[in-house]
Structure 1
Amino acid sequence: MHPQSKYPTPSDIDNIICVRIPDLEVYLTLYNLVKAHMIHGQYGLSRLTSPCMKNKKCSKYFPKKFTDDTIVDADGFPLYQRRTNTHVIHKTDIALDNMHVVPYNTRLLLKYQAYINMEWCNQSTSIKYLFKYIHKGYDRITATIVPSISKTLQDQEPIDDIKGYLDCRMENILEKPSVTESMFSSCLVANAKYEEACSLTYDELMIMFVYERRKRLWKPRKIGFTICRLIQVPPTTDNFFYLRMMLIVVKEPTSYEEICKVDDNQYDSFRDACFIMGSLKMTDNTLEISKRLVNEVQVIFFESFS
């Protein structure tokens, strides 16, 4: 990076990363946010069932050691400033101090009011980590089509017990609700069930609603919101591409047919509906995407509600 964008000294790190419990009487809001989101607590020998416990030790190496000043070791890894003269946070009658604070950025924590682990690093692999999620494609599955095993003695093939077991299970798997009912099909049901969903597009519904995977249904969030994105769909996928384009403009659809409806007129395909909506233009037999959709970002951050 450009030298002006780097944070080479420990004092620079202290300006953006904090690992201390704020004063309750001075910074009440920040104190409550640190308590709710940034404390790594309730673990150890008294709670071996904690997700972080591996071989009776915390896999995240908590509690950390007290350090008077931030130090960057020879390998480039920082030891953040964790001073002993600290305030404490009580969770289930346990007093937790700075040794249990997950590194955070004060400004981001106040803005988004959620768990945001802020770390300082200088490894080249961090570039891959930053961008790998937004470049991930949709889920994929590999399938093969093979001739069925003949039952005649002449054409009988060697019996593959493992393959036979999987083949027997395949029909049952395809009939499971977890396969037939997707997050999107459940969204269509939520649009018909909840009045709050009537004014929301699909991406907006994911912000204000929460999906319960076990029950395969959407329900309104009780508090706050989330940050979401719709996966990128290339134009080569044809109908899926046009469907995604319609999902960011059509509100409260309860069926696939309603997604293809524009001004009370029903169209045969998502492509036709996109064209009527003005999202697409045909010029010299070439499909052009209008600027409104080209400039759409994959990840949309929403400000917190007042």
Structure 2
Amino acid sequence: MTIELVIPSRRKDLGGFEVGRVLPWTKRRMVGPFIFFDHMGPVNFPPQVPRKTDVRPHPHIGLSTITYLYEGEIVHRDSVGFHQTIRPGEVNWMTAGRGISHSERFDSIRDTGGALNGIQAWVALPEAAEETSPSFVHFDAGQLPSHAEQGLSVKVIAGSAYGMTSPVQTHSPLFYVHLELDAGRTTDVCGGYSERAVYIAKGSVRLNGERYETGQMAVVSPGAMPSITAVEPSIVMLLGGEAVGPRNIWWNFVSSSKERIEQAKADWKAGRIQLPVDDDKEFIPLPEDPPPAAQPM
């Protein structure tokens, strides 16, 4: 068996735009250390994007977030002091560790409007790194290893794949790859990891002959080496790595310990997690139990 299971994206309204939520899912909570995977948009914002569309300051613990755009711009601010405009093809890797807060706003397209299309993913930290110091790193698109040939382009966002290694430092073995294929072009899913998945961000592909459409994630069976053939021009994300063990997830908090999540809840409610520098006038309050869907970005 080449494909272990197929995870559908479920549309979620975030109050201004929709996302397609893929992970976590009832039948598969994680792929390697990837514990959360949202496809933002695609959406075209009109001019005068309302501020309610922004993601106000909110906290995280125990994970790294990766914001990766195909279209649009998002302005990131965090409690470590980073202020970064996120643009297509760049890597913006924020490690929450023992606690961070950040906001994601549409300052740069607020007046004129514009497109937004991209992926927000979370990577659970291994237990030894769950309480690491919070940090943020940014890499321009040209700093990431890539390869292009007739009808195919490959960019390694994080980890190692296809003989290339990203400069992004990770806390556990993983890979995250952006593929673009012309219609009819074929390539193999990279190996070397115990857990792997293929997400179709645009278009449709065949994996060893079986067709998969936009918004579907196909989890690859261990040891299988399926080929990907684009039925039409397609964007495909490959992701996975080595498992880090079971994780608890509550709202924006991820931890191997339920008690640590309770502490994070108390810390946010009491104001013990610092708000983002230059964006400390508002925040998302701690939700009541049960929590709403995890806040992306």
Same fold (TM over 0.5): no
- Bigger relative contact order (CA 8 A; separation at least 6): 2
Higher strand share: 2
TM-score by length of 1: 0.24
